[in-house]
Each structure stands twice: as structure tokens, then as C-alpha cells.
Structure 1
Amino acid sequence: MDDASQARPAPFTEALLRLVLAGGPHQPRRTLLSHFSSAEAALAAGAAAWREAGCTPAQCQSLAHPDHDTLVRAQAWLQQPHHHLLGCNDPDYPPLLRASPHPALALFVDGDPTTLWQPAIAIVGSRNPSAGGRDHARDFAQALASSGLTIASGLAAGVDAAAHRAALACDGKTFAVIGTGADISYPRHHRQLQQQVAEHGAVVSEYPPGTPPRTGHFPARNRLLAGLSLGTVVIEAAERSGALITARLASEAGREVFALPGSLHNPMAAGCHRLIRDGAILVTQPQDILEGVANLAGELAAGLQMRLAAPIAEAPAGSAPAPDLPDINYQRLWNALGFDPTGMDSLIERTGLTAASLSSMLLVMELEGSVSSAHGRYTRT
């Protein structure tokens, strides 16, 4: 990935970090962020305003006097290259997650935050899949990634790891949502895989650096995974499993749920059969998933068009017209593209636009069929 596309979108603020580290119920802190113009203003409002927003005594105490060691550790992590903190009021906060029932107050991101704006499919399933289940995870992830979708999962053993590795193997995009701090690998033997995902996509957590694995964090992690994705594919899951929690949360967020059927004699297929009985879409090939998320992908593209609409200078005289593009920003990007593959760093140099804006605009144009991408380089179609 080009260094330019990994540039920090904006310096993190200590005020936002202190709101995150206060812990406790999310809603009072979201209320503070929505009521005041910024995290700095929310913090400066003082204890009376915090209590009015519903903050608990413990939260008020933490906002006034954050734990020094935790604050210093998080600051040190955020000062490293490619580390980011996105608050829920940040314009670059992922739109699909913002529209979900329970968005995170903020996201710690190791890697490229624009990956979270890409249309993604979550692939989840057993930590101990059968050989066939592992093959299905690999084949579906590879096919979907090759079709331009980002592969999302939880970096767990089994199906999750197979999906991430398959996306990386075909130079596709992938991101992982984890239930620890972004500086901690769990399971430990996935340290190298976690680094690879961060280098070619993003590793995301709502927990500050240094947070160890805790049982209650993983169902919470699953809601973010579901909220960041157009749909969730379940490949082998027992009757009681984290994959079924992710599927339920995806359904509650208005996203599609897909399940692969399996043998009646395979206990790891029981959860998938239950999902299908309860209304999940039965899939036997990746094309079934592409068709299932087409409408929501179109809504995401429309939202990105609105986010990026802003007039700038006229396009150069004699420029080739772009097909049905929403504003002059797109005309400038279209003029910078050719029929030879062009990398992100060249597009930034030619257009003067940011990596985040270009990534989102290219997504819209890909969904409309006017641009194609391969190996991180873009061409007109």
C-alpha cells in the first residue's frame, strides 16, 4: 500500500481519548459528542454538563482525572505511523457503522481507515472448522475479494483466519475487528497475520491499546463487525457460537445474513441450518452473495456521493467528459485516470485530493462500472 494512502487523516485529540478512556455506558459520552461541537468542548463543559448527559460518578471522575498510565500508553500508540483514532462525530467515521443500532464511540485503527468505507462482507464461522469448511471460507473470500469486495472478519482461529489469508493471497482488501487493544494479538500465534492485515487493510478495535482479551469483549466486537459490513456470511457454526451472535446483530442492523448449508451429520452445520430456517439466505456460490448485497451497496455509494459533493475549480478545457459523475471532483479524478493502471500516490499527485476522498470516490465509480481496480491500481473501463 502506498505511503500516501496511509497518511494520518488528522491528529488525534487528547479530549477524545479521555472520553474513550472514561469507560462505562456509551450513550452519555455519545450525547456529549453530539451536543457539543467537539470532544474538546465536551470535556471543557465540566462535571455539571457531564452529569446532565447521564455520565456516572465513575465516568465523571475519569474524565476529570484519567488514569495516567493508560492515557500515556494510548498516546504513545497513536503517535506511531498508521495509527488512528476516529470519533463517532468524525466525518471520516465509517458511514455503515454510524447507521447501525449501536455504533462505537470511537475506533482505534491500525492501518488505512479508508478501508472501512469500502463495501465489505463479513465471513465468520467455527474456530475448529472441518477441512471442507476451511476450504469454503478460503474459496468464498477469494472470489468475493476478487470481485472488489473487502473481506471482514474477527481474526479468530479457523474460518476467520482462512478468510483473511485468502483475501491477502489474491491482493484483496481485508480488515479485522478485534476484541482486544489493537496492539495485542489474540490468539498469540496470529501476530504475523494481524500485522499483514494492518499493512494491507486495517485492524480495528473500540478498546484502547493494552486492553487484554476478556470474554465480554467478543460479543461487543461482533456488533462492530456486523455494523461495518454489507452482509454476513456464516460458514460452519454450532448451535451456540459467536458466529450466530454476529449474524443476529447483522440482521438487527438491517444487513443481509447468508449461510452455507452442510451435512446433517456435521454438528458445525447445525447453526447454519438454524439460520436458514429463521430466514437467512441460503448460498451455495459467491454470486448469491453479490446479488444479495447489491441494493445496500448502491445505498452506500449514494451516501458517499453526498459526503463528497463539494464544488471546486473548473476542469481543464478539453478534458474528456466523465460518465454521469456527480460533481467536478469526480471530473478531476476522471481526467487523472487513464487506461493504464494508476496507483493511489499518482492520483493524489495529479488531482491534489486526499487519499480518503479519492478512495471513497473510486468506490462510487467502481460500483457504477466506470472504473476497475486490480492490485491497488485503477483504470477506466
Structure 2
Amino acid sequence: MYSEMQKYEIWLATIPGIGATHYFELVEHFGSAQAVFNEYRAGSYPLGEKTEAALLKARSPQRVDALAQRLEQRGLQALTFSHPHYPEILKSIDDPPCLLYAIGDTSLLGRPSIAMVGSRRATRYGKEMAFELAQDLAATGAVIVSGMARGIDSCSHRGALAAEGKTIAVLGCGVDVVYPPENQELYDEIAKKGLLISEYLPGAEPLGNHFPARNRIISGLSTAVILVEAGERSGALHTLNFALEQGREVFALPGNINSPNSAGTNRMIRDGAHMLLEFTDVLDELGWSYTPKAPEAAKSSGDQPHPATNPEEKQVLALLESGEFNREELAAQVDCSAQKLNTTLTMLELRGIIKQSSGGIYHL
């Protein structure tokens, strides 16, 4: 349920042409969003002809109530600037969004967070490191923030979830839109166990200009930003630029100096980013306490040697315990879709539990 004040804030923020700049100017000038609704008259504040017409047309009590009701019916949350779960850390940036749409646990926005970003066309090394770093950091209680894009973003979210930790996906489309479409299962899992947020209207398409703006929110939500792997012109570098402007700590993972996939990360280290060699480097730099991992005890013969996180992984591992299989043979015996099997095999490989030899043969 929304308070009356929040209903008017949702109303004002969703008027076409208003945007965050006009929103904050109007609220400052009139005193509140409700005062804008009650007191705005043509010419009373310079908005431009089209935006002013849109505001006057939208000014009806029925619309104010209908907007809030529609969000509730669709299972969406709207976090206005006055909402108790709107993150204080995000309010401190130069251009915070005036409204965030959310699906999931909005209380995560108040917890210590670390952003992880990188190339969509990541190498195996980059994917493995993103998964492992996110898994280790999430296990200490840090919330992992990323953009649910292909490559480094997706592996970062999956690593956090594999640790039974928490993760936030900041989308460059409507919060109810799955992009990229192959991330449907990841989207669903984050919705249940983490948080999806967006500043764009529900249903908004993933337009190219949305993603650079989205990046300022990824860094704005986080105490530190990690660049896992990125080429010289990777869009992930925009997130680091935002992070530096916002006063966040910036870390980069070194890579092969001859690899164009690591040119961006290596340059950031040269230019002053903290070099990241293990996850504790981040925690130590931030001064966050954590419990070091105890040495792994030797497993007895009765212990499960290959921990599985879901039924599909259990089926795959049970088969591989008895021998080697190719993808087609596994597909014939594992009860899941082809897409789910691909994801399962990738995650097991990234965690180092299974291996794939030449010819596409999987084994432990």
C-alpha cells in the first residue's frame, strides 16, 4: 500500500516529459508532488509546451489512484524518493532517479553492496572469475549488484545465488521485461531470491540509450565497483567512470597484457584502480569485517563430494559419477529443457565440478 504522498509522487514521476530533473525542480518549487497536483497552472513553471500539456491532462484524482492500483495488481513496487526503502546511498549521486520500479526484496537496497561489471563477450577466464568472486563476496554478506547482461553480469549474479547470497539486477528496460531473453531463468531466480529494479516504465524496451544511464545506478547503489574483464571500448568502463565521479572505490582484475579482452581492466589498474587479486582485497580496502574460510576438512567416503544446488545438477552429477557423457546423451536422461541443461552444465563447469574434454565429452 502507498501513502497519499507516495501516490502523488508516482503520479508526477510517470507524466511523459517530466523526468527526474523536472520532477525535483517542481517538488522544490511547489513543496511536494501533491502541491504540484493542486496548485500547478499553465505558465506557473517553465516546462515546455508538450510537457505542460501532459501534466495538465494527467491531473485527475482517478489517475492518481489508478496508477498505484495498477502497480499492485501487476506485482510491481514503486519506490519514490520518500519511500523508506529508497536507498540513501543512491540519493547522494548527482542525478538520482526520482522513481525506482522493483520486483523482489527491496530491503536489500539498504545493505552493503558491491557492483561487478564487465564485458558481454567475456572469455572463459572472465566468466569463471566473475562467478567465483561474486560467490565469495556474497558468502560474506555483501549484496552483489550488476546489470543482468550477457557475460560478466550474468555470471556475477549466478555466483551470488550459488552462495545462497543476495544480488540486485539493475535493468535497462522495464522491470517486467526479461533482457536478454535467454536469462529468463536467472530473472525468475533473482525475483524470488534477490531484487530486480529499473527506473524505466514497466514494459519499456531495452533501448541502447537506456544502458549508459542504467550504469550510474549500478555504481550509485554500491560502495565499490569491480571491473572483472573489459576491452578498451567496453561499455562497462562507463560504470567505472560513474563510480569515480560518485566517489566509490574502484577495483579491476588484471588480465593477459596481450589479450584485447583485458585491455580495459589493465588500463584502469595503470590509471589508479585498485588491483584485485582475491576477494579479500575488496573487503580489506573497505574495512569490512569477515570470517576467513576455514581449511576444508577432508571428506569422508559418506560425504557428498560434488555439492549440487538444484535437481538438474544432482541428475547430471549422478550420471557423471558413472562415466563420461556428451551433451546429447545427457539431454536424453536429464529431466529438463535444453536451455536449462546448457545453463546447468555451464554453471557446473564454472564452479570446477565438471570438465569438458575435446569432442564435447563431459566428466568429473
TM-score tier by shorter-chain length is: 0.7 to 0.9
- Using the TM superposition, name which of 157-166 and 12-21 deviates more: 12-21
| 1:37, distance to aligned residue in structure 2 (A) | 4.7
Alignment of 1:32 onto 2:26: yes
Partner deviation per Cα, 1:168-217 (whole Å, 9 max, x = no partner): 11110101000101110111111221121121121010011011111100
Partner deviation per Cα, 1:29-88 (whole Å, 9 max, x = no partner): 112234445422222221357x52x423222222222499x9999656511375211112
Counterpart in 2 of 1:42? 36
Distance 1:136 1:60, change over 3 A: same
| 1:9, distance to aligned residue in structure 2 (A) | 7.2
> Percent of pairs identical after alignment?
37
Counterpart in 2 of 1:140? 133
Counterpart in 1 of 2:292? none
Q: Contact 2:10–2:80 at 8 Å: present in 1 too?
A: no
Give the TM-score normalised by the residue count of structure 1.
0.69
Unaligned runs of 5+ in 1: 1-7, 298-381
Aligned pairs for 1:98-177 within 5 A: 98-177=91-170
Q: Contact 2:6–2:83 at 8 Å: present in 1 too?
A: no
Distance 1:188 1:20, change over 3 A: same
Given candidates 210, 224, 234, the residue that maps to 1:231 is 224
The structure having more radius of gyration, on CA atoms, is 2
Runs of 4+ in 1 over 4 A off after TM superposition: 8-14, 70-77
Q: Contact 1:34–1:89 at 8 Å: present in 2 too?
A: no
Partner deviation per Cα, 1:285-326 (whole Å, 9 max, x = no partner): 10111122238x9xxxxxxxxxxxxxxxxxxxxxxxxxxxxx
| 1:273, distance to aligned residue in structure 2 (A) | 1.2
Q: Contact 1:74–1:208 at 8 Å: present in 2 too?
A: no
Choose between structure 1 and 2 for higher RCO, CA contacts under 8 A separated by at least 6 residues: 1
Partner deviation per Cα, 1:83-131 (whole Å, 9 max, x = no partner): 2111123343100000112110110111111111111100000111111
RMSD (CA atoms): 2.6
| Count of paired positions | 286
| 1:245, distance to aligned residue in structure 2 (A) | 0.2
Q: Contact 1:108–1:207 at 8 Å: present in 2 too?
A: yes
Counterpart in 2 of 1:289? 282
Counterpart in 1 of 2:247? 254
CA distance in 2, matches of 1:189, 1:209: 19
Q: Contact 2:37–2:59 at 8 Å: present in 1 too?
A: no
- Using the TM superposition, name which of 286-295 and 218-227 deviates more: 286-295
Q: Contact 1:73–1:210 at 8 Å: present in 2 too?
A: no
CA distance in 1, matches of 2:59, 2:116: 37
- Using the TM superposition, name which of 255-264 and 15-24 deviates more: 15-24
Given candidates 33, 52, 57, the residue that maps to 2:49 is 57
Counterpart in 1 of 2:11? 18
Aligned AA (1:243):
A
Distance 1:116 1:11, change over 3 A: farther
Given candidates 182, 199, 219, the residue that maps to 2:192 is 199
Given candidates 176, 181, 201, the residue that maps to 1:183 is 176
Distance 1:44 1:128, change over 3 A: same
CA distance in 2, matches of 1:74, 1:238: 43
| 1:132, distance to aligned residue in structure 2 (A) | 0.9
Unaligned runs of 5+ in 2: 290-364
CA distance in 2, matches of 1:258, 1:23: 38
CA distance in 2, matches of 1:178, 1:66: 27
